[in-house]
Structures are given as structure tokens and as C-alpha cells.
Amino acid sequence: MARRQKSAPPEDYTENIIEIDVETEMEESFLEYAYSVIYSRALPDARDGLKPVQRRILYMMTDMGLRPDRGHVKSARVVGEVMGKLHPHGDSAIYDAMVRMAQDFSLRLPLIDGHGNFGSLDDGPAAARYTEARLAAPALTMTDHLDEDVVDFVPNYDNQLTQPEVLPAAFPNLLVNGASGIAVGMATNMAPHNLGEIIAAARHLIQHPDASLEDLMRIVPGPDLPSGGRIVGLGGIRDAYASGRGSFRTRASVSVEQLSARRTGLVVTELPYTVGPEKVIERIKDAVTAKKLQGISDIVDLSDRTHGLRLVIELKNGFNPAAVLDQLYRFTPMEDSFGINNVALVDGQPRTLGLVELLQVYLDHRILVVRRRTSYRLRRKRERLHLVEGLLIAIVDIDEVIQIIRSSDEAAAARTRLRAIYDLSEVQADYILELRLRQLTKYSRVELEKEQHQLRLEIAELEAVLGSEERLRTLVSTELAELSGTFATPRRTVLLESEAAAPLKDHLPAPGRTAKAVLPLEVPDDPCWVLLSTSGQLARTSTREPLADGQRSRHDVLTSVVASTARGEVCAVTSAGRMIRLQVVDLPALPPFNGTPNLAGGVSSKEFITLERGERLVGLAALTEVVALGTVQGVVKRVQPEYPLNRDDWEIISLRPKDAVVGVATASDQDQLVFITAHAQLLRLPAAAVRAQGRMAAGMTGMKLSAGDRVLHFGSVAGGDDRAVVVTVTAASAGAPDAAQGSAKVTELEEYPVKGRATAGVRAHRFLRGEDALALAWAGHGPARAASANGVARALPTEHGRRDGSGVPLTQRIDAVGPSLSGLVEAPDAGSAVSTAPSVPPRAAAPDDGQGTLL
């Protein structure tokens, strides 16, 4: 390897070493670097709300003609133009800024219309060579009128091109879309707002320059995040609007839904700002694995482009949804904190601004833009008017003008002669000389005078705007109102003053109390009522408070009401003699409705009970009490509460061929049992006359039936109940021309004598002409309620008839009869009130029309 020899310095060489203090050099270099980062990269300008890279992207896309009414172009082409002409930095920084301006979950009003994969909250975008972009409609208002000298232009990095120092910004972009950035020694983090609210506040500030913060906050109550959600607690927002610094909590929008008959779930439709569903799912799974979260059985992401975000969190049975949600807020990003730090550049210096200052800086900029635009237009109108006046002078003698031009040796001589003869200015003479001959001939005096008049009117209007500060501010306000009408959208984020006003507020802690004391994680074993209706709807009440008959005409007649607890068990009895165990906690809990449970929130019994063909649900019963069964053939059986503990269903009676259970009821020794047959025979016998048997026994003869007769109703009545009634409704004969029911009668049960077991009973209803059998029958604690098959209330006779008398003719069909709620809970031994009524085919709960007296 050759060794290079050092050459001697020239003879006139003088060594001059300058000593520089390292500390001073570091300070100066660091300050220069910090200022460059603050001013040229990280912080937005308070006037247009844009960082330099964002401003350059929008300006270059405008210069390229990428308007909303034209096609998309490759993002890589835009990035290359910006990088090569205006922004000499890495292409990834330019593309990242461009992508953010196209994301509707990042900006409240996106400025770029992206085509392709521009990323999500959980995933990044595709490469610039795969995506396409063009300007969105709101971006045009940011760059509009740039050609009218509305802002100053500055040289680019190599002094070959120019770029706008700031964009005209027809709306307060900084407040509408927010901003975030980290500079050297400072950072900014600004929340997005609703465009309509911000413009309304800006217009209010134009009309009332001395408006206070409280005045503006009546218009802008808080941020409006692109992802929606809920903001809980507004104290931090007030601080941020006053001083420029503050924080607030954002929460996901969650609703409790019945996913199936046995499963309840929390459905998340909106998440906090900048939080993605995959992040939430991962944190929930980690918290469940670490046993921080309880009561969650599964989580499924059902989000799609059509319906948006839908995150379903399935809960285990017996867990309080509000308590689980409280855990989710504490241990997952479903509740997040947003810190506001309103730092922006004002006159090249970083400042922390409140709401009033932010709006004022923008309005000052916008007023200056409109003033410069008006001045530019006035100047151009005056220049055009000057040319038109010259043409009007020349067109009077157009032939002589042409002759002067033709006879002149050169343009300078023609210009001099025109100015001398017609007293034209140099500009007017040049304009006439530059016109082609055919352009001269097309002008007519009338057209020019019309244009002259119009120009003078426009010049007067522009001068009036420039001459009046009030008119100028009014013009700015009007343009803001027009833009708001075009682009404003409804508010997405719900603002809640405190946690007590949050969703599921009935389950949230009261002020001054902890959530742990008010929100038990599992459903407490509180007393409740279990309800079954004639249409097969099952539900439970949230408490066992006294029930009242609500004014509801379109709902079910109740078949059974059983006292239980929220974590207890009841049983369902079918016509085939099967008893099926039901967990009360699996049933949907009904919220109170003016003291009356609303069974529209129940679910069909088919979701819990699988019936064989021809089998139907008869009623509910308590597992801890003696119950009585009655069959179609008149068999009666009282069953001891000795049921298998390891099975969910079992036989409770051995039925004869073609026999079926028709009713089930609680029956202690003090109660009375009632049979009513289709031939209108009623048997009332003491329950003590029927000894209790095991569940495999076949029962005993309860009522003696005549040939062709069958039991229509079986139930129990508490002993000594003086309010018990019997309701009978007849059917028309098979050959009768009217297929409607015949008559109805209400009789006091006390009128019927107590008979012994295996007797035929007594007559309960005398048939009229065209009647030969009962269609419906019911006996129980009064008053009774009746309804049609679709749940519409039907009237029963108000006066009690004789037991051996006929009924009152019906004008409307009755398909179900049952007890009133007040009758059930006021009856003796109401702790396990059970009543039965003939079932009608299951139907959907009909809407409430506010009339009648049925539940």
C-alpha cells in the first residue's frame, strides 16, 4: 500500500486557529435545532391549524388539480411532488401526515379523500404505491382564493419555488380537527370539536367581541370526538378552555342486550378516541386470565363496514352487567383519559391558548384574508373598468383607430398617436393595440356600457366592505354560516357532567358512595316474582315489591306468578306430566313500569323448555311446596316436594292413555281445589281430601265426569278467600251461524258448595240457545282479567250472576282469562301465588296503546 506524503504548506501560509467555547456552541446549536423543530415540524399554526408538512401537502395537491370531482391518483405521486418541491424530508413522514388527514377516526372533518387501505386504529396503512388520494371537499375551502393575494408566499427550501406561509382556512381547522405533536421541550395535544358548534361560537364572537368564556361554552360545551363515545366529567374541559390545559375522561358507548334467552351481553358500539377494538379485546383477555375481570364468558368482534363497530362481551349467568362494566372501565382502555394542551404558533412563537384566544386568533386571520381578497378584487375591477373606459372611447370611431394603427410604422408610434388623439393612458392604448381586429369589431357600445355599469356597482360594493369594519366582519360571519350549512354534522360525543349521569345510571354508585358498595358483581339473591303469561312469555321482576295492575290493553293475561329469589329455582309443568327445573337467574329481569312489570321484556318459554309434539306448558310452581295437578279426565294429585337433585326434568304424574295435565297450583291442606268442565260442571273440594303422593304415583279420581265431558280448568283457591270468583265463557254450537263465543258470566265461588272427591259437582252455567259447551273457564282470587288472542283487553260482566244462571252475551271474542296482579299478591298465602288460565298460541308482545286494565 502506497503511503501518501504530506506536502509542505505554501510560504505565505499563516495558521489561524479560532477557539470556540463548547458550551456556547452547544447552546446555540441546540436552540437553533429546537426552534427548527418547533416552528417547522411539530407545532401547528394557530391560524390554519396545520403543520408545515400538512400545509404543503394540501397546497401541492391543489396545485396538481386533485379536486373532489376528479379521479384519485397514486399517493406515491403526491408524496414525490411534495418531497421534491416543498418538503425535503423522508417520504414516510409525508405519507404518514397524508394518511392521518384521510382517516375519519383521527379527524372530525377529514381533508383528504383516500381510496384504498388507509389503516385503522389497530393496523397501519398500505404502502403509498398501493393507495390513492385526492382532496376532500372541506380541503378546498382551506386553499380557496390562494390566487387572489390573500396570504403571503415564501420561498421553498432551494429558493426555486414559492409556497404559502399559511392557508386562507375558511373554517377553524385547529379546533375542528385538533392536533398532536411533540417538539423539543414542549408538546401539543388538542381535541377535535364539532364544526357547527365552533362556527357558531366564532360568529358569536364576531358579533360580541367582548364575549366571555361562559358565553362561548353555552355554544361549545365540549369536544366532539370522531369516534363518538362519552365524555364523563366536564371540569377538566372548563379548565382547558380557560387556560389551555386540562383533561377529561372518555368512555365507550355500551348497552346491555339480551343475546339469547339465557345470555346477557355488553355491546360496545363506540370506543374512546384513538382506542381500537383489537387493543380492547387483548386487554380484556389478559385481565380475565389474570383474574382481574370476572363474569365474562366470551368476547366477539362483529364489526363490519356496514354496521360499524360492534364488540359483544358475553356475560356469565348471575353477574351484574353494571358491575362488570365498571370493572371494564377500570381495567381496560374502554375508559381513557385525554389531556388537553393547547400549544400552537402565534406570530411564530409557541403559546398556550384557551378557547377564546384560539377563536380570536383565527378570526383575526380570516378577517385579514377577506380584507386582502376584497382589496385584490377591487384592484382587478378597477383595472378592468379602466380598460373598458378606453374601449368605449376608441369604439366611437373604430375606423379611424384602425387607420391610425395601420398607418403607423411601429407599435410605439401607434401607441403615441392613439394616446395623443383620444387621450388614452398607456395601459389603455396597449390593450387596444394587443386586440385582434376581429376582437375590436365584436365590441358594441351597449355591451361595453352595460359592463361598465356593472363594474362600477361591484367596485362600490367592494369599497363599502373595505370602508366599514362592521360590514367586513359581517361578510366573514356570513361565509362561515354558509360553510357550516354545507359541512356541519350532528354531534357524536355525549357529554356527561358526572358519572351519575352515565348510562346504566340506575346501577351506578350514588354520590359520595363507592362503586363496590353499590355494585355487587354477582346478582344478589333478592326476592322476586317469576311470571308466565298465556302467550308463553317468561320473565322475573327485579324486586318482590307489591305489583299493581297497569293501564295496559295490549299485553298478556298472566298464567302464573311464583314467589322466588333471583338465584333460586322454580319448575315448569307441562301437559304431559313433566316437571322442568328453571334457574331464575337465567330469566330476563324486568324493570319496573309505574309499579307494573312490563312483560314485553320477557322471552318465549320455548327458549328454556323443549316441548314434544302436542305437549304444552301448563304453568309454573315452586319446588319447595306441595303442588296439586288436575287432568283432562278428572284425575287429581298432590305431590310432595321431593324431587331429584341431579336432574333438570322428570315425570310428576303417571298419566292414563289420552289423558293430559290441565292445571297446576300450590295446594296446602287449608286450600280448596276447583275443577270446571266443558259441560259447565264445577267441583269445589278441600285439598286435604287428597293425600299427598310421590312423584311416580298416578293420582286419584278427583271429579266424576259424564260421557263426553272433559276438564277445562283446574286450580286452587286459598281457604277463606271471600273474593274468589268463577269466570265461565261459552262457545257457540257447531251448527250455529255465528262462530263467535256466546256469553260470559262471573260468579262468586262462595255460591258453590264444597263437595267430596269423586263427585260430579254442580251446574256452573246455564246454556242459552246456540250454546252447548264452555270455551274458557277460570276460578281464583278476583278480580279477573280477560283478553283476546292478540292481547287486547276484553270486558267481563261487572255484576256477579247466579251460579245456575246464564251469562251475558258477548260482542267481542275472549281467548284468555286470568287473575289481576293485585288479586295475586293480596290473596291469602300470596308468598307462592300460582294461577292458571288456558294458554293461547305464543305471539309477540303487542305495543301498548295506554288503555285497558291488563298487564
What residues are annotated to the active site? 130
- State phi, psi for 326 to the nearest 5 degrees: -60, -40
Annotate 315-328 with DSSP letters as a single string. Answer: EPTTB-HHHHHHHH
Give the 3-state secondary structure of residue 616: coil
Kindly give, in sequence order, each residue whose CB lies less than 8 Å from that of residue 198, ignoring residues fewer than 6 positions away. 171, 172, 175, 176, 220, 359
Residues 692 and 626: beta-carbon distance below 8 Å: yes
Question: Is 784 in contact with 818 (CB distance < 8 Å)?
Answer: yes
Strands (E), 77-120: 112-115
Cβ within 8 Å of residue 155, ≥6 positions away: 161, 162, 163
Number of other residues whose CB lies within 10 A of the CB of residue 16? 5
User: DSSP states of 412-457 as a string?
Assistant: HHHHHHHHHHH---HHHHHHHHHS-HHHHHH--HHHHHHHHHHHHH
Strands (E), 450-505: 494-496
E strand or H helix at 237: helix 235-243
Q: Report cis status (omega within 30 of 0) of the bond before 783.
A: yes
Distance, in Å, from the CA atom of 346 to the CA atom of 46, rounded to the nearest integer, reads 6
How far apart, in whole angstroms, are the C-alpha atoms of residue 513 and residue 345? 45
3-class SS string, 249-280: EEECEEEEEECCCCCEEEEEEECCCCCCHHHH
Of 261, 212, 267, which is closest to residue 241 (Cα–Cα)?
A: 212
CA angle (351, 496, 238) in 5-degree steps = 25
Read off the C-alpha cell for 498: 358526572
Task: Tell me how far apart the alpha carbons of residues 600 and 682 are, in angstroms, rounded to a whole number.
Answer: 34
Do the bridges between strand 700-701 and strand 635-639 make them parallel or antiparallel, or are there none, so unpaired? antiparallel
No. of helices (H) and no. of strands (E), the chain: 20, 44
The full length of the chain comes to: 855
481: DSSP letter:
H
Cβ(404)–Cβ(422) below 8 Å: no
Cα 390 to the center of its chain, rounded Å: 66
Residue keyed to cell 421553498? 156
Whether the CB-CB separation of 47 and 164 falls below 8 Å is answered with no
Asked if 216 contacts 355 with a C-beta cutoff of 8 angstroms, the reply is yes
Please give the backbone phi and psi of residue 199, each rounded to the nearest 5 degrees, phi first: -65, -40
Cell 383521527 sits at which residue? 106
Cell of 705: 265426569
Strands 537-541 and 589-590 come out as parallel
